[in-house]
Amino acid sequence: MSLLDKALKGLGIHSNDRILVILIALTLIISLITPLLMITSLSEKDSPVSNVPAHISYATHARISISGNAGFLGSNATTGISWGNGTVGNPYIIEGWDIDASGNRGVWISDATVHFIVRNCFIHGGGVSNDGIYIYNCNNGDMIDNTCNDNACGIFLTFSSGCTATDNHCTNNSMAGIYLFRTDSNTLSSNVMVNCGINIWGSSSGNYNSHSIDSSNTVNGKPVYFLKYLSGASVPSNAGQVILANCDHINVWNQYLSNASVGILIAYSSDVLVANNFCRLNAFEGIYLYSSTNCNLSDNNCSNNEFGILLADSCDNNYIGNNTCNDNIQTGIRLEGASSNVICDNNCSKNSQFGMHLFTVSDNNNISRNLISDNVQYGIRILSTSGNRIWNNSFIDNNGAGPIYSPAHIQASDDGNNFWNSSGYGNFWSDLTGPDIVPPYGIVDWSYNLTGSGGMKDHYPRTTPSMPIPEPAILILAGIMIVAFVMIGRTRKKP
């Protein structure tokens, strides 16, 4: 008799039941092991992939600075040019250099129309101030197979067009692997970015939609999805970064977008659903909306970025709900020229500046049912905006506020003309929860005075943390239902 048979017999289990017992035991073992395997898999998936290429030996060279077409005619010691004459068929070549960018930008080329290539260079050590390769106002530059590590930006293109960046490796750059700043019609392909990504900023649609950026570019081992002029689609899973330009009715959901420059960037788009994404530890924003309307940002975690969520430049009529925007370097949710948005049920806590920040004509927004707590400065800061309605939010321990109201630690600031209550409901302020002696009960008898030049007050501060308050239409419907039930009950009692 086997040891297993003896054990089962000792427990009073017959051999006929042995198969069932074994199956149950195996099921329990699998159920215990599976979570461990999932945790291991998730850890491996979320960890940035180090992908620094091997290169031949580089020759040390001082930083390179070239201004204008004539600047390419200097000596090799100054320009680093190996050969070429600046034509399409024979471009100037800067190649094979090891350049320390700690003192200034590693390669700085500006105001040139000639053709040039920067390739097979190792440019490093720029820190938070200096870029590896900086191209200003140039039209025909190619950056190929360079390694740009530990700079502010690996490659920075500004006011330039018709340039390409191909097969570059950019690792641990504090702002971006590749930054396109007010540029048009550039091409990015097969670039590998680790702990950094692509950032695009501009003030026209062409600054966003004219570029060619395909999914051969990767961020932390996952593809960059740059979509433009697309309607009615979903972004594929396992993205390293998501960028949308002039799109509508796009779904971005269930993505883990971490350690990039911007997790999700949406410009000149409408009716985009952004839901259930992790956008954390990015250099700039977790989610950035620029000149986009009627978008829905829900149930996202946008923590540990510079800004959790940022809406800028005519981002109107969007819904921002149930997002977690905590522990950001500056602000949880920031509005710059964004009006008529609904911002509700978000958690904006423990940010190093403000929980929310509204300024530059961000008018007529409805802000309610948000938890705004433990921010180093104000829970909400409002500057140069008006007509916003801020009500039924919970302000807890912001700006160093204690249990008793103090003019030195007021939890919100308003320099505009806004409304801090609605229909007799204000906000909950942890430093002013009483007295509540006279009706209506549940409302503090004193106003909460805000700081700021607007002289704003919350006239109906709540005595308890804010709870969802039914809208008037819901209250009316509920009243009708109650009356109906009463009438039905009376009818049934009649003989």
Structure confidence at residue 12 (pLDDT): 56
Query: CATH code at 79?
Result: 2.160.20
Do residues 151 and 215 share a domain? no
Do residues 222 and 234 share a domain? yes
Do residues 110 and 216 share a domain? no
Inter-axis angle of helices 18-46 and 3-10, nearest 10? 110
Structure confidence at residue 45 (pLDDT): 38
* pLDDT tier, 210 (very low <50, low <70, confident <90, very high otherwise): very high
Is 483 a member of any domain? no
Do residues 212 and 272 share a domain? yes
Extract the tokens encoding 90: 């024979």
Residue 4, pLDDT above cutoff 50: no
Q: What is the mean pLDDT of residues 37-65?
A: 59
Least confident of 17-21, 298-302, 384-388: 17-21
Is 51 a member of any domain? no
Is 466 a member of any domain? yes
Do residues 320 and 385 share a domain? yes
Structure confidence at residue 269 (pLDDT): 98
Q: How many other CB atoms are there within 10 angstroms of residue 55's CB atom? A: 15
Do residues 124 and 204 share a domain? no
Q: What is the 3-state secondary structure (H, E, C) of 48-111?
A: CCCCCCCCCCCEECCCEEEECHHHHHCCHHHHCEEECCCCCCCCEEEECEEEECCCCCCEEEEE
Is 486 a member of any domain? no
pLDDT, tens only, 266-312 = 999 999 999 999 999 999 999 999 999 999 999 999 999 999 999 99
Where does a domain end: 170, 203, 232? 170
Residue 18, pLDDT above cutoff 60: no
Task: Quote the number of domains for the chain.
Answer: 3
The dihedral over CA atoms of 224, 282, 144, 246, expressed in degrees to the nearest 10, equals 50
Structure confidence at residue 475 (pLDDT): 40
Tell me whether residue 386 is exposed, middle or buried, using C-beta atoms within 10 angstroms of its C-beta: 0 to 12, 13 to 18, 19 or more.
Answer: middle
Is 90 a member of any domain? yes
Where does a domain end: 145, 170, 195? 170
> 39 or 46: which carries more pLDDT confidence?
46
* pLDDT tier, 28 (very low <50, low <70, confident <90, very high otherwise): very low
Structure confidence at residue 19 (pLDDT): 56
What DSSP element (H or E) covers 3? helix 3-10
If we measure between CA atoms, which residue out of 294, 219, 227 comes closest to residue 262?
219
Q: Which residue(s) pair with 287 in the sheet?
A: 264, 309
Instruction: Tell me the residue range of the domain where 282 lies.
Output: 171-476
Residue 441 has, within 13 A of its CA and on its CB side, a CA count of 1
Do residues 275 and 134 share a domain? no
Do residues 339 and 244 share a domain? yes
Mean pLDDT for the chain overall = 88
Is 311 a member of any domain? yes
Do residues 438 and 472 share a domain? yes
What pTM was computed for the model?
Answer: 0.84
The two beta strands, 218-219 and 222-228, are: antiparallel
Which amino acid would we find at residue 276?
N
Do residues 153 and 246 share a domain? no
Extract the tokens encoding 237: 């899973």
Do residues 235 and 95 share a domain? no
Is 395 a member of any domain? yes
pLDDT, tens only, 435-494 = 999 999 999 999 999 999 999 999 999 999 975 544 444 344 444 443 443 344 444 434
Is 295 a member of any domain? yes
Do residues 359 and 469 share a domain? yes
